[in-house]
Amino acid sequence: MDIPTLSPGQARERQQHGAILVDIRQPHERAAGQAEGALAIDRAELEADPGRHLPDMDAEVLLVCQLGRRSLDAARVLHAAGYARVRSVEGGTEGWIRQGLPVVRPDLDADQADFLERYSRHLRLPEVGLDGQRRLEAARVLLAGAGGLGSPAAFYLAAAGVGDLRLVDDDTVERSNLQRQILHTEQAIGSAKVESARERLSALNPRTRVEAVAQRITSANVEALLDGVDVVIDGSDNFPLRYLLNDACVKLGKPLVYGAVQRFTGQASVFDAGRLRGRCPCYRCLFPQPPPPQFAPSCDEAGVFGVLPGIVGLLQATEAIKLLLGIGQPLAGRLL
Protein backbone atom coordinates (compact mmCIF):
# COMPACT_ATOMS: atom_id res chain seq x y z
CA MET A 1 0.00 0.00 0.00
CA ASP A 2 1.14 3.52 -0.79
CA ILE A 3 1.63 5.58 2.35
CA PRO A 4 -0.08 9.00 2.29
CA THR A 5 2.29 11.95 2.51
CA LEU A 6 1.90 15.51 3.70
CA SER A 7 3.88 18.66 3.04
CA PRO A 8 5.61 20.14 6.09
CA GLY A 9 3.00 22.91 6.19
CA GLN A 10 0.16 20.41 6.13
CA ALA A 11 1.88 18.34 8.80
CA ARG A 12 2.19 21.40 11.03
CA GLU A 13 -1.51 22.13 10.60
CA ARG A 14 -2.48 18.52 11.40
CA GLN A 15 -0.16 18.62 14.42
CA GLN A 16 -2.00 21.67 15.73
CA HIS A 17 -5.24 19.70 15.42
CA GLY A 18 -4.00 16.79 17.50
CA ALA A 19 -1.91 14.64 15.19
CA ILE A 20 1.20 13.10 16.75
CA LEU A 21 4.39 14.22 15.01
CA VAL A 22 7.30 11.82 15.54
CA ASP A 23 10.92 12.60 14.62
CA ILE A 24 12.47 9.18 13.90
CA ARG A 25 16.04 10.40 13.38
CA GLN A 26 18.98 9.58 15.62
CA PRO A 27 20.02 11.95 18.43
CA HIS A 28 23.00 13.41 16.57
CA GLU A 29 20.71 14.38 13.69
CA ARG A 30 18.19 16.04 15.98
CA ALA A 31 20.98 18.06 17.57
CA ALA A 32 20.86 20.46 14.61
CA GLY A 33 17.18 21.10 15.23
CA GLN A 34 13.85 19.29 15.14
CA ALA A 35 10.26 20.24 14.44
CA GLU A 36 8.65 21.96 17.39
CA GLY A 37 6.43 19.63 19.38
CA ALA A 38 7.70 16.45 17.74
CA LEU A 39 8.29 13.34 19.80
CA ALA A 40 11.89 12.12 19.50
CA ILE A 41 11.84 8.36 18.94
CA ASP A 42 14.63 6.59 17.06
CA ARG A 43 13.33 4.65 14.09
CA ALA A 44 14.78 1.34 15.29
CA GLU A 45 13.10 1.69 18.68
CA LEU A 46 9.79 2.70 17.14
CA GLU A 47 9.74 -0.20 14.69
CA ALA A 48 10.81 -2.71 17.35
CA ASP A 49 7.96 -1.84 19.74
CA PRO A 50 5.51 0.72 18.30
CA GLY A 51 2.86 -0.03 20.92
CA ARG A 52 5.13 1.12 23.76
CA HIS A 53 5.70 4.50 22.15
CA LEU A 54 2.32 4.97 20.45
CA PRO A 55 -0.31 3.07 22.45
CA ASP A 56 -3.29 4.59 20.57
CA MET A 57 -3.35 2.75 17.25
CA ASP A 58 -6.25 4.92 16.04
CA ALA A 59 -4.31 8.18 16.48
CA GLU A 60 -3.13 10.15 13.47
CA VAL A 61 0.65 9.66 13.36
CA LEU A 62 2.98 11.79 11.24
CA LEU A 63 6.55 10.56 10.80
CA VAL A 64 9.40 12.90 9.88
CA CYS A 65 13.05 12.10 9.18
CA GLN A 66 15.80 14.14 7.50
CA LEU A 67 14.68 14.05 3.86
CA GLY A 68 11.45 12.05 3.84
CA ARG A 69 12.71 8.64 2.75
CA ARG A 70 13.23 6.84 6.05
CA SER A 71 9.91 8.10 7.34
CA LEU A 72 8.15 6.42 4.40
CA ASP A 73 9.78 3.10 5.20
CA ALA A 74 8.97 3.44 8.89
CA ALA A 75 5.38 4.38 8.07
CA ARG A 76 4.98 1.14 6.10
CA VAL A 77 6.15 -0.82 9.15
CA LEU A 78 3.67 0.98 11.40
CA HIS A 79 0.85 0.52 8.89
CA ALA A 80 1.57 -3.21 8.78
CA ALA A 81 1.42 -3.20 12.59
CA GLY A 82 -2.10 -1.79 12.51
CA TYR A 83 -1.67 2.00 12.51
CA ALA A 84 -4.17 2.93 9.81
CA ARG A 85 -3.69 6.70 10.05
CA VAL A 86 0.09 6.91 9.71
CA ARG A 87 1.57 9.40 7.25
CA SER A 88 5.01 10.59 6.16
CA VAL A 89 6.19 14.21 5.95
CA GLU A 90 7.56 15.05 2.50
CA GLY A 91 11.03 16.58 2.47
CA GLY A 92 11.61 15.68 6.10
CA THR A 93 13.13 18.06 8.59
CA GLU A 94 15.06 19.86 5.86
CA GLY A 95 11.78 20.66 4.13
CA TRP A 96 10.29 21.75 7.46
CA ILE A 97 13.15 24.18 7.99
CA ARG A 98 13.00 25.49 4.40
CA GLN A 99 9.35 26.40 4.91
CA GLY A 100 10.26 28.43 7.98
CA LEU A 101 8.27 26.28 10.39
CA PRO A 102 9.21 26.39 14.08
CA VAL A 103 12.26 24.38 15.14
CA VAL A 104 13.71 23.62 18.56
CA ARG A 105 17.24 22.53 19.42
CA PRO A 106 18.26 20.31 22.32
CA ASP A 107 20.22 21.85 25.16
CA LEU A 108 23.79 20.64 24.53
CA ASP A 109 26.99 21.70 26.20
CA ALA A 110 29.77 23.13 24.01
CA ASP A 111 31.68 19.85 23.79
CA GLN A 112 28.63 17.85 22.71
CA ALA A 113 27.69 20.47 20.13
CA ASP A 114 31.23 20.51 18.73
CA PHE A 115 31.34 16.71 18.48
CA LEU A 116 27.99 16.41 16.73
CA GLU A 117 28.63 19.22 14.28
CA ARG A 118 32.24 18.33 13.49
CA TYR A 119 31.52 14.68 12.74
CA SER A 120 27.99 15.04 11.37
CA ARG A 121 28.88 13.50 7.99
CA HIS A 122 30.42 10.46 9.68
CA LEU A 123 27.48 10.11 12.02
CA ARG A 124 25.11 9.79 9.07
CA LEU A 125 26.98 6.73 7.80
CA PRO A 126 25.51 3.53 9.28
CA GLU A 127 28.97 1.95 9.08
CA VAL A 128 30.31 4.64 11.43
CA GLY A 129 27.49 6.22 13.39
CA LEU A 130 27.75 7.46 16.94
CA ASP A 131 29.31 4.27 18.31
CA GLY A 132 31.96 4.20 15.58
CA GLN A 133 32.83 7.84 16.06
CA ARG A 134 33.24 7.29 19.79
CA ARG A 135 35.49 4.35 18.95
CA LEU A 136 37.67 6.58 16.79
CA GLU A 137 37.84 9.15 19.56
CA ALA A 138 39.07 6.47 21.97
CA ALA A 139 41.69 5.14 19.54
CA ARG A 140 45.44 5.74 19.51
CA VAL A 141 47.52 5.50 16.34
CA LEU A 142 51.29 5.65 16.03
CA LEU A 143 52.73 7.27 12.92
CA ALA A 144 56.35 6.42 12.26
CA GLY A 145 57.42 9.47 10.31
CA ALA A 146 55.93 12.92 9.83
CA GLY A 147 57.06 13.30 6.24
CA GLY A 148 55.61 12.47 2.83
CA LEU A 149 53.43 9.55 3.92
CA GLY A 150 52.84 10.64 7.50
CA SER A 151 51.59 14.08 6.45
CA PRO A 152 48.40 13.09 4.60
CA ALA A 153 47.79 10.14 6.90
CA ALA A 154 47.99 12.33 10.00
CA PHE A 155 45.82 15.06 8.50
CA TYR A 156 42.98 12.70 7.66
CA LEU A 157 43.21 10.69 10.86
CA ALA A 158 42.93 13.91 12.85
CA ALA A 159 40.08 15.13 10.66
CA ALA A 160 38.31 11.79 11.08
CA GLY A 161 38.44 12.18 14.84
CA VAL A 162 41.08 9.71 15.97
CA GLY A 163 41.56 10.70 19.59
CA ASP A 164 45.31 10.19 20.02
CA LEU A 165 48.07 10.46 17.43
CA ARG A 166 51.62 9.60 18.46
CA LEU A 167 54.01 11.10 15.89
CA VAL A 168 57.59 9.85 16.00
CA ASP A 169 60.27 11.50 13.86
CA ASP A 170 63.68 12.93 14.73
CA ASP A 171 64.01 15.01 11.56
CA THR A 172 63.62 18.75 11.00
CA VAL A 173 61.75 20.55 8.24
CA GLU A 174 63.71 21.47 5.12
CA ARG A 175 62.55 23.49 2.14
CA SER A 176 62.89 20.45 -0.14
CA ASN A 177 60.27 18.68 2.00
CA LEU A 178 57.52 21.14 1.12
CA GLN A 179 56.99 19.70 -2.37
CA ARG A 180 55.20 16.71 -0.81
CA GLN A 181 55.13 16.94 3.01
CA ILE A 182 51.96 18.98 3.36
CA LEU A 183 51.97 19.09 7.16
CA HIS A 184 54.77 21.63 7.06
CA THR A 185 55.04 25.24 5.90
CA GLU A 186 57.74 27.72 4.93
CA GLN A 187 57.60 29.15 8.44
CA ALA A 188 58.38 25.72 9.93
CA ILE A 189 61.73 25.30 8.15
CA GLY A 190 64.36 24.36 10.72
CA SER A 191 61.87 23.22 13.35
CA ALA A 192 61.24 19.64 14.43
CA LYS A 193 58.81 17.91 12.11
CA VAL A 194 56.76 16.52 14.97
CA GLU A 195 56.30 19.98 16.49
CA SER A 196 55.35 21.46 13.12
CA ALA A 197 52.90 18.60 12.66
CA ARG A 198 51.40 19.01 16.12
CA GLU A 199 50.71 22.69 15.45
CA ARG A 200 48.99 22.02 12.13
CA LEU A 201 46.96 19.06 13.35
CA SER A 202 45.80 20.86 16.48
CA ALA A 203 44.66 23.77 14.34
CA LEU A 204 42.65 21.36 12.18
CA ASN A 205 41.06 19.43 15.04
CA PRO A 206 41.71 20.51 18.62
CA ARG A 207 39.85 17.42 19.84
CA THR A 208 42.71 15.20 18.67
CA ARG A 209 45.55 14.86 21.16
CA VAL A 210 48.90 14.90 19.36
CA GLU A 211 51.93 13.42 21.11
CA ALA A 212 55.07 14.71 19.41
CA VAL A 213 58.06 12.42 19.94
CA ALA A 214 61.24 13.89 18.43
CA GLN A 215 63.20 10.65 18.56
CA ARG A 216 64.63 8.12 16.17
CA ILE A 217 62.90 4.76 16.48
CA THR A 218 65.41 2.15 17.60
CA SER A 219 65.40 -1.37 18.97
CA ALA A 220 65.78 0.18 22.42
CA ASN A 221 62.59 2.27 22.31
CA VAL A 222 60.32 0.70 19.69
CA GLU A 223 58.29 -1.44 22.10
CA ALA A 224 57.74 1.47 24.48
CA LEU A 225 56.59 3.65 21.59
CA LEU A 226 54.10 1.00 20.48
CA ASP A 227 52.71 0.60 23.99
CA GLY A 228 49.01 1.40 24.14
CA VAL A 229 48.51 2.01 20.42
CA ASP A 230 45.82 0.30 18.36
CA VAL A 231 47.32 0.68 14.88
CA VAL A 232 50.81 1.49 13.61
CA ILE A 233 51.33 3.41 10.36
CA ASP A 234 54.69 2.94 8.70
CA GLY A 235 55.67 6.22 7.07
CA SER A 236 59.37 5.44 7.12
CA ASP A 237 61.74 5.79 4.18
CA ASN A 238 64.33 3.10 4.94
CA PHE A 239 64.43 -0.67 5.17
CA PRO A 240 65.99 -1.06 8.64
CA LEU A 241 63.11 0.85 10.22
CA ARG A 242 60.51 -1.09 8.24
CA TYR A 243 61.90 -4.38 9.50
CA LEU A 244 62.16 -3.03 13.03
CA LEU A 245 58.53 -1.90 13.04
CA ASN A 246 57.40 -5.16 11.49
CA ASP A 247 59.15 -7.31 14.08
CA ALA A 248 57.82 -5.25 16.98
CA CYS A 249 54.26 -5.31 15.61
CA VAL A 250 54.36 -9.08 15.16
CA LYS A 251 55.68 -9.55 18.69
CA LEU A 252 53.17 -7.17 20.29
CA GLY A 253 50.18 -8.09 18.12
CA LYS A 254 49.75 -4.67 16.49
CA PRO A 255 48.39 -4.21 12.94
CA LEU A 256 50.94 -2.45 10.73
CA VAL A 257 49.75 -0.28 7.84
CA TYR A 258 52.57 -0.20 5.32
CA GLY A 259 53.25 2.30 2.57
CA ALA A 260 56.19 3.11 0.33
CA VAL A 261 56.88 5.39 -2.64
CA GLN A 262 59.63 5.84 -5.19
CA ARG A 263 59.64 8.10 -8.24
CA PHE A 264 56.22 7.44 -9.85
CA THR A 265 55.28 4.21 -8.07
CA GLY A 266 53.83 3.44 -4.67
CA GLN A 267 52.45 0.51 -2.70
CA ALA A 268 50.39 -0.10 0.40
CA SER A 269 49.34 -3.08 2.48
CA VAL A 270 48.31 -4.20 5.96
CA PHE A 271 50.51 -6.65 7.86
CA ASP A 272 48.68 -8.23 10.79
CA ALA A 273 50.60 -11.44 11.45
CA GLY A 274 50.81 -10.75 15.17
CA ARG A 275 47.04 -11.05 15.59
CA LEU A 276 46.30 -13.36 12.66
CA ARG A 277 49.14 -15.85 12.87
CA GLY A 278 49.12 -18.28 9.98
CA ARG A 279 46.41 -16.31 8.20
CA CYS A 280 48.11 -13.02 7.41
CA PRO A 281 51.71 -12.36 6.34
CA CYS A 282 54.14 -9.90 7.84
CA TYR A 283 56.55 -7.58 6.04
CA ARG A 284 59.36 -10.14 6.25
CA CYS A 285 57.14 -12.75 4.60
CA LEU A 286 56.84 -10.50 1.56
CA PHE A 287 60.37 -9.09 1.64
CA PRO A 288 62.66 -11.55 3.47
CA GLN A 289 65.67 -9.38 2.69
CA PRO A 290 66.09 -5.77 1.63
CA PRO A 291 67.01 -5.26 -2.03
CA PRO A 292 70.52 -4.12 -2.95
CA PRO A 293 70.91 -0.33 -2.57
CA GLN A 294 71.23 0.19 -6.32
CA PHE A 295 67.72 -1.24 -6.81
CA ALA A 296 66.09 0.84 -4.08
CA PRO A 297 67.52 4.35 -4.08
CA SER A 298 66.07 6.84 -1.62
CA CYS A 299 63.85 9.76 -2.61
CA ASP A 300 66.86 12.01 -2.08
CA GLU A 301 68.66 10.11 -4.82
CA ALA A 302 65.88 9.08 -7.21
CA GLY A 303 63.27 11.78 -6.58
CA VAL A 304 59.53 11.32 -6.08
CA PHE A 305 56.45 12.68 -7.82
CA GLY A 306 55.03 15.19 -5.34
CA VAL A 307 51.42 13.98 -5.18
CA LEU A 308 52.33 10.29 -4.90
CA PRO A 309 53.00 10.26 -1.13
CA GLY A 310 49.63 11.97 -0.74
CA ILE A 311 47.86 9.16 -2.57
CA VAL A 312 49.62 6.39 -0.66
CA GLY A 313 49.33 8.21 2.67
CA LEU A 314 45.58 8.56 2.18
CA LEU A 315 45.35 4.84 1.49
CA GLN A 316 47.17 4.23 4.76
CA ALA A 317 44.77 6.49 6.65
CA THR A 318 41.84 4.67 5.06
CA GLU A 319 43.21 1.28 6.07
CA ALA A 320 43.84 2.49 9.62
CA ILE A 321 40.28 3.74 9.97
CA LYS A 322 38.90 0.49 8.56
CA LEU A 323 40.90 -1.42 11.17
CA LEU A 324 39.78 0.84 14.01
CA LEU A 325 36.12 0.60 13.05
CA GLY A 326 36.14 -3.02 11.92
CA ILE A 327 34.55 -2.15 8.58
CA GLY A 328 35.32 -3.16 5.03
CA GLN A 329 38.09 -5.54 4.05
CA PRO A 330 41.57 -4.32 5.04
CA LEU A 331 44.46 -4.90 2.67
CA ALA A 332 45.69 -7.72 4.91
CA GLY A 333 47.49 -10.24 2.74
CA ARG A 334 47.19 -8.01 -0.31
CA LEU A 335 49.68 -5.56 -1.77
CA LEU A 336 48.18 -2.61 -3.61
Domain check: are 310 and 172 in the same one?
yes
CATH of residue 156's domain is 3.40.50.720
Quote the pLDDT of residue 112.
87
**Per-residue pLDDT at 126:** 86
212 lies in the same domain as 100: no
Cα Dmax for the chain: 82
**Does 177 share its domain with 58?**
no
List, in order, residues 6 or more apart from 330 with CB less than 8 Å away: 255, 270, 272, 319, 322, 323
Specify the pLDDT at position 32. Answer: 81
Per-residue pLDDT in tens (0 to 9) along the chain, 336 residues: 689 999 999 999 999 999 999 999 988 888 888 999 999 999 999 999 999 999 999 999 999 999 999 999 999 999 999 999 999 999 999 999 999 999 998 888 889 889 988 998 999 888 998 899 999 999 999 999 999 999 999 999 999 999 999 999 999 999 999 999 999 999 999 999 999 999 999 999 999 999 999 999 999 999 999 999 999 999 998 999 999 999 999 999 999 999 999 899 999 999 999 898 888 999 999 889 887 776 666 667 778 899 999 999 999 999 999 999 999 999 998 998
Q: What pLDDT does 86 receive?
A: 97
Containing domain of residue 40, as a range?
5-107
Domain finish residue from 85, 107, 129: 107
In a domain, 282, yes or no: yes
| SS3 readout for 271-329 | ECCCCCCCCCCCHHHHCCCCCCHHHCCCHHHHCECCCHHHHHHHHHHHHHHHHHHCCCC
Are 169 and 238 members of one domain?
Answer: yes
Helix (DSSP H) and strand (DSSP E) numbers for the chain: 16, 13
Residue 63's domain is classified under what CATH number?
Answer: 3.40.250.10
Q: Are residues 145 and 292 in the same domain?
A: yes
